[in-house]
Structures are given as C-alpha cells and as structure tokens.
Structure 1
C-alpha cells in the first residue's frame, strides 16, 4: 500500500493541505470505491510540532522511515520555519524522489525551500510570486521557468501559491488518477463556488459509477 506523506514542521500552514489530505485519506469520492491513500505525517524527528493554527502534531514517522516504494506523493506545506537547517533532509529527500520518478507537491513557503535547493531551476513552477522567490532565495536561478499561474505541474512536481490549496488538491487527485473526471469536475466546482447543485451533481456521478456494469 502506498501512502501520502505530509512533512510537518513548526508554524506549518495547516489549512493549506486540508482539502487534499481529507480526500486522499478518506477515499470517499475515489473511482475505485473502498480504496484510499492513507496519510502519514513525517517530521525531522518524533518531537511534536505546533502548526500556525495552534494544533499539536506528533509525527508518525521520521524521514529515515520513508520508503520510496511506499510514497504515493510527498506533500510539503507552507511554514515560516523552512529556512531552519533541520529541514534540509526532507528537501534532499524530495530531490531524490523527483529524480527517481516520485511525486512531490509544494505550496507557499515550501516552494521557497525547493528554490533554495535548486529544484526549481529546471522545472516550470509557480509560487506566491516571482518577487517572493527572487527576494528570499539568493540561490534561485529558475526565473525563466516561473509561470504566473495559481498552480503549475511539470512532470512529477506540483507547485502552487498560498492561495492554491483547493487547486493543489485537484491537481494531486488528477495526477494520481483517483476520481472519475466528472466527479472531480463537480467536486472542484462545489468547493470553489459553494453552489449546492454541484454537490448533488458529484453525488450523481458516484451513483452512476456504481450502477454501470
């Protein structure tokens, strides 16, 4: 079984990964009914971290416990503490995963950590803004590949801004081929607009998928 691994660190923006972790872990709208991708938290150690929202999380595993073959995707949240040296090993692990064909998704401050490590120098990407990367990452050399879009996927790396939590979830679900296309479209439209008609349309797609022989 493959897992989604979420790196957790002090001041992490806990809301940014809410959509994607809920859908992966529950599998409630997966086209393969009854399946899911369990979410495991990864820390630089087993010491508890405190999120920006004040939640205390005790990591399930440390970086050394993560086995490449068991990684469906590595999710890197935004945080104010990415510059701390203790987080360098997870970025090194992200590079290892990307180089071997594994999947990585980064949002907000995590994109800055990738920029610092040179991982955005050869992939199209986005972030909070181009100025954000050039101002806070002296080693960033990927300006030519920056895209002024809310979310960008290049091969097996997904990047987005702090405002892209919903888009991140949609892109991860699409990349991992977890929802039927009409389910994903209705799901995204519902959470983007709040209009009940999209929620009922989503439920209808699930009903249709269970009645097709």
Structure 2
C-alpha cells in the first residue's frame, strides 16, 4: 500500500509550487501517493483556476501519513489558514516531515517552528514583516531550499529545489535519479 503525502490546499493556493513534487511522488514506482487536505471538504480553487475537491479536512486526516506539504498563497498572509495548526503540531509530535514554501514558510516562522533550525523563505526581511513573532533570523539561510530537522523550507521561486529536497528526504527515488531529474528540469537538455 502506498504511503500518503498530504498537501494542504485552500482557495488561492499557489498550484505551481507543488506541481513538480506531487507529480514525482505520485509516480507509480515511488511508494507514495498524494492526497489533498483543507480546512473543510468544499472544493478549493487555486491561483491558476484549478478546482480541487480535498480528500481530507483538518478534522478527518489519517493518523498515519508520510509528510505534510504546505504551499504558498495569500491566505497565509491574511492568517486564514491558522486552523491547520493542530495538524502541524500533530506532524511534529509524530516526527512526520513538513515542507513549507513561500508564504507557508512565514506561517511556520510566525508560529515558532523555525526559531531553532536552519531555514529559508522569500527573504529574511519579508519573513520578519509577515511573522512578527519570529525569532529565528540567526538561522535564516539565503538559499532556494533548506532541510533541517525534517522541516523543508523554500522561497516561492524554488519549486524545483523544494521538490528535490522532499524527494531526497523521503528517499522516493535513488539520490542519483533525483539529482539527474533536478538538473534536467533546471537546466534543460541543452546548455545555455
């Protein structure tokens, strides 16, 4: 049976930020399957206009899942996704990896989850503005994506790097395959 990776969606979620990682994890030979989760089970429409019916809500998520992925969107800035906090706490307590990209990284910062670990995000200045309770600036790394303590953070331009870190952390494919996949998608077939 395939292990579930939960992707948190909401109206206005940045659909492209999870596109690479979802398609790779959902591939037949990885041992993983993607399931969507939201605050409720009503259809959610992405920034790109893609309408998705969530598999789970924050009230009925499975007890056993392999990772929680939080993708960006403006709702994080408006604190409309705060009801996902119990699920984040559950994942941390059970030592389930979490990935947070773009404004979702600010959410993690605002709630103290990044204070003691190395992390990234859109910029340090933006993170401080969006997360006034954030105290982890000494651990901020100006890098596309960072993995520390099974928490992966990335800026909004790092969809490939975010995917690469998740694939490596979950050991979804052999490391050489992941790195070849990343380089091919980053650079293309032909040198510039």
Q: Do both share a fold (TM > 0.5)?
A: yes
Deviations 1:66-114 (A, max 9, x none): 2232x11111000101145552231331132123211100000101111
Matches within 5 A, 1:53-72: 53-69=48-64, 71-72=65-66
2:142 aligned with 1:141, yes or no? no
* Higher helix proportion (structure 1 or 2): 1
Tell me what 2:33 maps to. Answer: 38
Equivalent-residue separation in structure 1 for 2:88 and 2:108 (angstroms): 9
Equivalent-residue separation in structure 2 for 1:125 and 1:109 (angstroms): 13
Q: Unaligned 5+ residue runs, structure 1? A: 28-33, 198-213
Tell me what 2:181 maps to. Answer: 187
Superposed CA RMSD in Å reads 1.7
Which of 1 and 2 has greater Rg? 1
Deviations 1:156-191 (A, max 9, x none): 100000011101111111111121222122111110
Does structure 2 retain, via aligned residues, the 8 Å contact 1:95–1:119? Answer: no
Equivalent-residue separation in structure 1 for 2:7 and 2:190 (angstroms): 31
Tell me what 1:169 maps to. Answer: 163
* Number of residues of Structure 1 aligned to a counterpart in Structure 2: 190
Q: Unaligned 5+ residue runs, structure 2? A: none
